[in-house]
Amino acid sequence: MEFNEVIKKRASVRNYGTKKPDVELVIKAIESSNLAPSPGNLNIIKWIIVEDKQKIEKIAEASQQEFIKQSQILVVFCSDPKKAESIYDDRADRYVKQHAGAAIENFLLKITESGLSACWIGAYVDESIRAILGIPENIEVEAVFPIGYQAKLCKTKQKQKVSIFERVFFEKWNNKYHFPLEKVRREDI
């Protein structure tokens, strides 16, 4: 699949089939995640792969997202902000979040390229996730990702995004006019 096709195909899928994904595909997606830019090339992100059905059900309850129970595999992204704090002080939190976002996007794109589906879950009770997975207090839970094959009857596609032409500025805030931007078409991306 070409890169632009992967970007356009990636969607938040909330309906999974019963076929269990090969965990090796998930590990390859984690490897792609690990290639994301990071502050100071620090190893900030950690991943927990969850296959135990009881834990998946408990995480679904902690997230108040019933559909998570359908997935056969979860990946929980965590970060260790202390590594960045020792170097970047007040800006560390910003850098950790930027790194987590870049790592997550790489992960989601590789999941899509692999023929799998996922949904980015950011709403959950942190303490519950920590307790279920034994995550220490000094480690941040960044996001939860149910992984699976999209159910055959489910035709989830990426929602149409609002045009960038009202949101791209040149040289200063709200300056929308620039000749090359007029030549760019959504189909070319």
The rounded mean pLDDT for the chain is 89
Whether the pLDDT of residue 161 is over 70: the answer is no
Range ranked top by mean pLDDT from 59-63, 84-88, 161-165? 59-63
Amino acid at 134: G
| Mean pLDDT on 69-77 | 96
27 contacts 116 by C-beta, under 8 angstroms = no
Handedness of CA 36, 39, 40, 43 (dihedral sign): negative
Higher pLDDT, 76 or 186: 76
The pTM (predicted TM-score) of the whole model is 0.86
pLDDT for res 170: 76
Higher pLDDT, 146 or 172: 146
Using 50, 70 and 90 to split pLDDT, how confident is the model at 178?
Answer: low
User: How buried is 98 (Cβ within 10 angstroms: 0-12 exposed, 13-18 middle, 19+ buried)?
Assistant: middle
Could you write out the DSSP letters of every residue in 6-18? HHHH--B---B-S
User: What CATH code would you report for 3-153?
Assistant: 3.40.109.10
Whether the pLDDT of residue 60 is over 90: the answer is yes
Whether the pLDDT of residue 28 is over 60: the answer is yes
pLDDT for res 183: 61
| Mean pLDDT on 142-150 | 96
Using 50, 70 and 90 to split pLDDT, how confident is the model at 186?
Answer: low
| Mean pLDDT on 18-47 | 95
pLDDT for res 189: 55
What is the share, in percent, of the chain residues with pLDDT greater than 70? 89
What is the share, in percent, of the chain residues with pLDDT greater than 90? 66
pLDDT for res 177: 67
Whether the pLDDT of residue 2 is over 70: the answer is yes
